[in-house]
Amino acid sequence: MDRDEPDMNTALMVDGNAVAGQLEQIFGRDMTMTIARCAGCARDAQLGALMAFIRGPGVVLRCPACQNAIARIVETPSAIYLEARGAAYLRMAPQG
């Protein structure tokens, strides 16, 4: 667990809901009610309820139970990188 990473300043933390626009841009739908299972502690949380750190060069989403980094998003002028090693899976309602 990387608790002491520089992005983990509690006063700067927001909710995953604050990244809803970026997530919707990537997935084409609202993702804030999508469940992520944490690969670290196996607990479930809605993406909107994750701990979000948005003041770094990218975005880091962390598990509210164990602080494990569930996903990282970095945008460059030519690409969006979404690294999600910290998620066992995402579970979302089908659209339609």
Ligand X SMILES: Cc1cc2nc3c(=O)[nH]c(=O)nc-3n(C[C@H](O)[C@H](O)[C@H](O)COP(=O)(O)OP(=O)(O)OC[C@H]3O[C@@H](n4cnc5c(N)ncnc54)[C@H](O)[C@@H]3O)c2cc1C
Enumerate binding residues for another protein (CB under 8 A): 10-18, 20-21, 24-25, 28-30, 32-33, 46-49, 55, 95-96
Q: How far is the CB of 9 from Zn ion (least distance, A)?
A: 19
Q: How far is the CB of 60 from Zn ion (least distance, A)?
A: 14
Task: Count the neighbouring beta carbons within 10 Å of the beta carbon of residue 12.
Answer: 12
Burial class (CB in 10 A: 0-12, 13-18, 19+), 33: middle
Stretch that binds ligand X, among 10-18, 28-36, 60-68, 74-82 (CB under 6 A): 10-18
- For ligand X, the binding residue among 2, 21, 29, 55 (CB under 6 A) is 55
Task: Count the neighbouring beta carbons within 10 Å of the beta carbon of residue 53.
Answer: 23
Q: Which is nearer to ligand X, 15 or 37 (CB)?
A: 15
Q: State how far the Cα of 80 lies from the Cα of 29, in Å rounded to an integer.
A: 16
By CB under 6 A, residue 13 contacts ligand X: no
**Vertex 47 angle, CA 76 and 4, to 5°:** 70
